[in-house]
Amino acid sequence: MIMLMRNHVGDFEPGCDYTAVKLDAPLVEAIARRAMACRSMLADDPSLADASYWDPSPKGMRARDDAAEAIERALDDGDGWALLDDSLMEGLEAVACDCTKMTISVGGGTAVLWDCRVGSAPVQTVDVGLNELAAKLGHPLGNPLAAIP
């Protein structure tokens, strides 16, 4: 399953509008494990805001002109992120973008986001709430994110 997120921070080179992440079982388990560790650290230190982890797995993307409207509509419906089917993935092209870290945020609610670099400019994805992601991924027994408070 592919999660596409809108990029929204920094003055970056045109064309790296989105970040795509393949949500395979090992990555979903890593997100859940890291989120639980952050929640545990938050219990010990209420000033904790987030924790970052090395993660080069996301890819920078841009929409082809003929698919841009459908992709934007899907992202608008999902508050800046969406799980994509193959038909929408065909409308994206990879761009040169180095994703360097995954951040688990535990501020208002537990969320995940990625920081990337396009050339020397920073790019950050929208925050993806783990409760919302868990709901979209489906059945809780096979979904480690469903246990995140």
The pTM (predicted TM-score) of the whole model is 0.83
How far apart (Å, rounded) are the C-alpha atoms in residues 146 and 139? 8
Q: pLDDT, tens digit, for every residue of 104-127?
A: 998 778 899 988 776 667 778 889
In angstroms, how far is CA 141 from the centroid of its own chain?
22
pLDDT recorded at residue 14: 60
Q: Of 124, 130, 132, 137, nearest to 106 (Cα)?
A: 130
Q: Taking a C-beta distance cutoff of 8 angstroms, is the pair 95, 17 a contact?
A: no
Q: pLDDT, tens digit, for every residue of 49-58?
A: 889 898 878 8
How far apart (Å, rounded) are the C-alpha atoms in residues 38 and 53? 11
| Residue the block writes with tokens 């999660």 | 3
